[in-house]
Structure 1
Amino acid sequence: MNEGKRKAAIKLKTARGQIDGIIKMLEDDRYCVDVSTQILSAIGLLKKANIDILNSHIRSCVITAILEGEEQGGEKIDEIINIIDKYIK
């Protein structure tokens, strides 16, 4: 596992713990704004984990594809652009 994936895994495990905590907050009928704040925190971690994965992908798979040829590199760049498009919507 490369460094980017390792960092993402740590963030995802932390988010999993936060989500378990959010479920407990709901079961305990905690204040809605507090629950919402924790949900936003978990979403932030998921977004950061996604950036780690994309960073790793660009620095490995995309670079390799570009060096192997224009067609493969173009396909990888299109994949990244599609992900970015989804990310900003």
Structure 2
Amino acid sequence: MQADKKKVGTLLKTARGQIDGILNMIEEDRYCIDISHQLMATMAILNKANKEVLSAHLKTCVRNAETAAERDEKIDELIEIMGKVIK
């Protein structure tokens, strides 16, 4: 992985902490909308981590592909994963 490991790791650890908090909120029967806000905040952090990973992939793996066929394959992988994210 070519992404900034420290940055991605920090984001994922933050998301993990938020998920633990959300689980506590559920156990405490907290208000649904409050739980939903925390879920959305966690998803935003996960999206940010994913953006970092995909950005690094574009700037390294795709850019450094040796042949046009390899580049096309990497681009197709990105298109496929973006289709899963955008649903």
TM-score between both structures, scaled by the size of structure 2: 0.91
Contact 1:62 1:77 in 2 (8 A): yes
Q: Establish whether residue 47 from structure 1 lines up as the match of residue 36 from structure 2.
A: no
Moved runs in structure 1, 4+ residues, more than 2 A?
1-6
Distance in 1 of aligned mates of 2:4 and 2:51: 9
Distance in 1 of aligned mates of 2:84 and 2:3: 24
Amino acid across the alignment from 1:82: E
Match of 1:72 in 2: 70
Amino acid across the alignment from 1:56: A
TM-score between both structures, scaled by the size of structure 1: 0.89
String of CA shifts for 1:22-50, please: whole Å, max 9, x gaps: 00011111111111110111011111110
Contact 2:2 2:57 in 1 (8 A): no
Match of 2:8 in 1: 8
Contact 2:15 2:46 in 1 (8 A): yes
Distance in 1 of aligned mates of 2:23 and 2:17: 10
Q: How far is 1:2 from its partner?
A: 4.6
Q: How far is 1:70 from its partner?
A: 1.0
Structure 2 unpaired stretches of 5+: none
Q: How many residues align?
A: 87
Change (3 A) 1:69 1:3: closer
RMSD: 1.4
Distance in 2 of aligned mates of 1:8 and 1:39: 19
